[in-house]
Amino acid sequence: MRKNIFATLLLLISLTANAQMRIDASTPLKKLVNAEQAIYYLYVDTVDEQKAVENAIRGMLEKLDPHSTYSTPKEVESMKEPLEGSFEGIGVQFNMIEDTLIVIQPTMNGPSEKVGIVAGDRIVTVNNTSIAGVKMDRSNIMKRLRGKKGTKVKLGVLRRGVDGLLTFVVTRDKIPVKSIDAFYMIRPEIGYIRIGNFGATTHEEFMEAAKNLQNQGMKRLIIDLQDNGGGYLQAAAMISNEFLEYDDMIVYTEGRTVKKQEFRAQGNGRLKDIPIVILINEFTASASEIVSGAMQDQDRGLVVGRRSFGKGLVQRPLEFDDGSMIRLTIAHYYTPTGRCIQKPYKKGQLKEYEMDLENRLKHGELTNPDSIHFADSLKYLTLKKQRTVYGGGGIMPDYFVPLDTMQYTRFHRQIAAKSILMNAVLRFIDDNRKDLKKEFTTFEDFNRRYEVPKSLIDNIVAEAEKQNVRPKDDEELQRTIPYMSTQLKAIIARDIWDMSEYFTIINEQNHIVQKALEVIQN
């Protein structure tokens, strides 16, 4: 086809010389193809054809809805990873401190643990190439550490108390990516499970966590979907199924060319008798809204928090041969009562759409329930108890919890944004890991007795001063210290144990979690 078009263009050039060219555009598709060919063959400068086509695709999608997107092969790969439940690599959690990779902990039974890499190790070379002190970005380091299952990578490691460079040859393997961030007994008989996203293994992970908690005496459950941006619809439907009766509607989808598709409970749920409360906030979206909407509409659980994001568009992935992908919106999600989850938008107005959360804050919706108003046309009744719920985009909670704008002081936000806090606590953990593990053999003992030392707080304030970040006055500093100390203690617990221990500490200062405890206990 290209040869034919090229010949046509050459003929046209020779016939028209300086005259204006006309290109056959009998169909929109032909017009697009011919325009691309004309640019490729006739434009005055060299053109990156791949980039030109990608820009054309993005241009078309930008004029549609906010969630129809084009992704390069590299972007597709990074998108799939947290949803597919695994990647291939060496299996370590790490942080960067002053251009040095420090292992927080190796994955249990993973390839690094098997060869003897331990928490606190500094990986300074990969296949004899230095990665420490050379200003290499995190993505480049990860690219060197990851690779196909079965391939080997040689690591140079510095270890405290050991002279010289240790060498480990690690055979890469599949490394699981967990979508359950945390689970633990938050109070006697009350379990807590936080879902980070909805991926291929989420249902299996969720049920393992629920079984573990039931073995510890769980009789009620808090499901935390705060900041959960969604994922696979099927995973959301499978988790919802565990709580609902046979034939209860979970969600349905419908579009211009896509017939209505219903997702209903099969009646084989294993948690149908467990009272639940769902936690949401303004960053809860998509698949998370399917779960919270289904539980609310079916009067199966109460929803606590703030109105969710409002992402109710179904995207179909359309893959190209080179690994790139279009995610094209083909339908809307609807809750069992018929509420459309998608918040309003204007086609092609992406910036306006992205400003929605900021506008909510300005209008007072995130901080004051009296600022939230719904038209009568947006009222719906739940299916069993006939309670009033609201449409218009997102899920409105049954119990509103305002955003506490005073909890994070301006000073706290600044030291967090500049990584002053994180860098200081990571250095502290690195210096004190061995002593902390020796003194606190269990998390329970740590949680009960440990207090963040004043020296760590002083170091953070001093480092902030060096970077011209200062509290407005002593009152702001004193208001900053309590929550910052909780955050520091939680980060220390996470690095010594895991994420469940982190949330055990931090949730005691989370207003939505605390409201949920009040609701579920009553």
Instruction: Return the DSSP state at 242.
Output: T
CA distances from 444 to 407, 440, 447, 449, 505 (A): 26, 9, 5, 9, 11
Residues 6+ apart with CB under 8 A from 489: 450, 451, 452, 505
Q: What is the spatial distance between Cα 309 and Cα 286, in angstroms, rounded to a whole number? A: 8
In 335-467, the DSSP E strands lie at 379-381, 388-390, 399-400
Q: What is the spatial distance between Cα 88 and Cα 315, in angstroms, rounded to a whole number? A: 27
Q: What is the spatial distance between Cα 317 and Cα 326, in angstroms, rounded to a whole number? A: 6
3-class DSSP state of 332: strand
User: Do the beta carbons of residue 229 and residue 283 sit within 8 Å?
Assistant: yes
In which region does residue 338 sit, left (phi positive, over 0), alpha (psi from -120 to 50) or beta (all else)? left
CA distances from 507 to 108, 207, 274, 382, 394 (A): 26, 22, 22, 30, 24
Q: What is the spatial distance between Cα 421 and Cα 459, in angstroms, rounded to a whole number? A: 9
Pairing assessment for the beta strands 100-106 and 249-254 based on DSSP bridges: unpaired
E strand or H helix at 348, and its extent?
none
Q: What is the spatial distance between Cα 8 and Cα 13, in angstroms, rounded to a whole number? A: 9
Catalytic residue IDs: 286, 297, 311
User: Do the beta carbons of residue 339 and residue 293 sit within 8 Å?
Assistant: yes
E strand or H helix at 220, and its extent?
strand 220-224
Neighbours of 413 (CB within 10 A): 11
In 127-219, the DSSP E strands lie at 129-130, 152-158, 166-171, 173-176, 180-187, 190-195
Nearest by Cα to 327 from 121, 507, 64 = 64
Bridge partners of residue 331, in order along the sequence: 314
3-class DSSP state of 175: strand
Q: What is the spatial distance between Cα 375 and Cα 393, in angstroms, rounded to a whole number? A: 12
Instruction: Return the DSSP state at 127.
Output: T
3-class DSSP state of 276: strand
Secondary-structure breakdown of the chain: helix, strand, coil percentages, each rounded to the nearest 5: 40, 20, 40
